[in-house]
Amino acid sequence: MKLSGNKPSQTSQTDAPSALATASGERQSTPRRLFLLSATAAAAALAAGLVPRLVRPARADDAKGAGKPDHFEVAYSDAEWRKRLTPAQYEILRQEGTERPYSSPLNDEHRTGTFFCAGCALPVFSSRTKFDSHTGWPSFWTPLDNAVGTHTDTSFGMIRTEVHCRRCGGHLGHVFDDGPKPTGLRYCMNGLAMTFRPQPA
């Protein structure tokens, strides 16, 4: 309703039925509006990469545990993390953010080498296990040994398996069970959460 400085006129008795009909019509259309808003929000989440594919998270027996540890081998204060990381890296590694799909150069990195946690430089993935998932994020079918941990993530009304660096707890991405053989898993990682070092020739 548009507000003005004039005092609103009172509804006459002859206008009452139409006013009630309008109110009734608004009430009847509310569920439809809620449905449309929900559908729009779901489409926006899909476009933003919050739901890369409509798939189940990785199986529970693939996760290292339901909760994220309170303490990690490499630990800094929040202020120190902000100093060590770029704002975008901080948002992803420390706040569990998600970069835009197809925005990371590491998505198109095809050289032989190793991917490291951008927070503590722990080797986390090998280029030998990288594959093109067509989701817009660097994807791998397995991490390096003793490199990552997982926990259940229930944000955005979904149940997913979050992947974090085993040494500093930095958020790397999520793992899903729609990957290639031999594991059938897709470790969908944020490029900003990692650095890459090519193997010397």
Task: Tell me whether residue 90 is in a domain.
Answer: yes
Residues spanned by the domain of 152: 77-198
Task: Tell me whether residue 69 is in a domain.
Answer: no
Distant-in-sequence, close-in-space partners of 168: CB < 8 Å, separation ≥ 6: 72, 73, 74, 75, 93, 117, 119, 120, 122
Task: Tell me whether residue 49 is in a domain.
Answer: no
Task: Tell me whether residue 182 is in a domain.
Answer: yes
Please give the single-letter amino acid code of residue 30: T
Which pLDDT score is estimated for 165? 98
Helices (H), 76-181: 78-84, 87-93
Task: Tell me whether residue 115 is in a domain.
Answer: yes
More confident residue, 70 or 87: 87
- pTM > 0.85: no
Q: In what order do the strands lie in the sheet with 123-126?
A: 123-126, 113-117, 194-198
- Kindly give the pairing relationship between strand 113-117 and strand 194-198: antiparallel
Contact (Cβ atoms closer than 8 angstroms) between residue 119 and residue 168: yes
How far is it, in rounded angstroms, from Cα 59 to Cα 10? 62
Task: Tell me whether residue 64 is in a domain.
Answer: no
Exposed e or buried b per residue across 77-101, where buried means at least 16 C-beta atoms within 10 angstroms of its C-beta: eeeebeeebeeebbbbbbebebbeb
Band (67; pLDDT cuts 50, 70, 90): low
- Kindly give the pairing relationship between strand 139-140 and strand 130-131: antiparallel
Annotation says 188 is catalytic: yes
**pLDDT for residue 157 is more than 50:** yes
Q: Measure Cα distances from 106 to 31, 37, 55, 109, 141 in Å.
A: 43, 35, 24, 5, 16
Number of folded domains in the chain?
1
Which pLDDT score is estimated for 68? 72
Task: Tell me whether residue 40 is in a domain.
Answer: no
Which pLDDT score is estimated for 71? 85
The CATH number assigned to the domain holding 165 equals: 2.170.150.20
Task: Tell me whether residue 99 is in a domain.
Answer: yes
Q: Which of 117, 120, 165, 188 is catalytic?
A: 188
More confident residue, 33 or 67: 67
